Structure 1
Amino acid sequence: MCFSIRNKVISLTIFFFSIFNVSAYADTLSDIKASGKVTIGVANEVPYGYTTSDGKPAGEAPSIAVHLLNEMGVTDVEVVVTEFGSLIPGLRAGRFDVIAAGMYVTPQRCRQVLFSNPTYSIGEGFLVKNGNPESLNGYGDIQEKDVKLGVMSGAVEYGYAREFGIDMSKVVTLPDYPSGVAALKSGRIDALAGTSLTMATLASKDSNVELAQPFDALIIKGESVKGYGAFGFRPGDETLRDAFNAKLDGFIGSDSHLAMVEPYGFGKHTLPKGMTAAKLCQ
């Protein structure tokens, strides 16, 4: 009997702790509205989310986030820069309130964070040395040749390579894209994988590398792979997530939205076209 009662006490303690843990951030929306201050997390990845030389937020996701937050009455937006693979742990640890890094919505990530509805959709690409000496124009080429593919830590490309069937000994994980470009130029890798937009942006900044063209559309399990980027929130912050979704609903695809994101390479061609986080999380 004592053992049973003790188990019940322990179970109740765990239950109430879980409730407290989930509800600890349940009033984040109220808190940031009251203080007028919020912190967003970015991975310094151009053009998705980064900071300018004077520390101001820039890129597709931070630009939209600042706009929506201002509409909510939150005008003091601070930025925390971290490695991409540290964004979710940093959010859950309370280092920032919103992931504004253009993070793809995937079922695995949906088990760790809440996502807004997506703000864009885009396909994949490779960055290669000038002239594409190994003729790497898709994941199939990596699978067939004796080459190395670089992927950013925490990014979806690692999973794409695995699901495509590439021998994972060919995949080199790197902390960020600048490290990836350096690895490519030094010969440590033969191609760097990422979204076509990111790879094109990197190519425009370094005359020694280029975007692999043409690029074979990535097909996994018979389906064309496209990524959908969105904002990330802590579990329990449904009110903040829902507030973002309400604002996004009337903003994404508007003239104001397109004018805001076109300088970063986004536009009508990258609109999510009705895709929702609920569908992507399935």
Structure 2
Amino acid sequence: MKKTPLIFSLLLALTCISFRLSAQQNARPANFNEHNLFSAGVASSFIAGLYDAWYPYKQLKQHGDFGLGAPDQVDGELLLFKGNLYKTQYTGKTIPLADTGKTPYALACFFHPVKVYKHSGTLNKTAFYNYLDSLLSNQNGIYAIHVSGKFKLVKARAFPPAQKPYLPLAEMLDKQHFFDHADMQGDMIGFRTPKFMEGPHIAGYHFHFISADKAFGGHVVDLIAEDITVEVDPLTSYSLELPQIAGFERFDFRKDRKEEIKSVENGKKQ
């Protein structure tokens, strides 16, 4: 008789777990793919000035637990890591974000690394990207990349809130705030997308950083890595949600914005 309450409790717990898993699965889109890169918005229209948030964070987290993007009005830098949202403010401080807000542009996937590499020794930015290139053999593949370990230097940046009428990001580079994070343990969350995705996405590498204590971060402009672990998740598809805002309906995609995207990514005029 003494075992009956215990058995009942176990059955109740299993029922609750099953219900939660079912609810999570039902919350995901019908075309859900765990190896998919999801994009809320179009990179080229975002960097050209479509900064008003429209896509809910709650919906973004249905498409992934790993990613990056921008907060409303480009007010800092956005990072999604292990299912948690973080925002690096233009002051350099990083804070956790509730999922009640919205984003004008973000990328997300469910991160399931299939390969892990360890590198000992110093790598500057160029050497680091060359190292990644040696690991990622499919030049037309999409990769989600998590880099963790010790960094001698991470130079990061964030923008203050943009003011209307919005200027393209490439014309706001003088408003960037840069931060040098030295001798710090942390994580870089990012992607490498191929050339054929240029425009809707930022082709090449794109990383955001967060310190191990979650106090510092930002968009990575430069780095010196020391001892790092690289986890790689090859993605097999991508999907895109078009912005549901008036500015997107009138946006002219005929202009070539490749140089603008490079300038914004590197934090300086090309």
State the TM-score, normalizing by the size of structure 2: 0.31
Larger % of helix: which? 1
State the TM-score, normalizing by the size of structure 1: 0.30
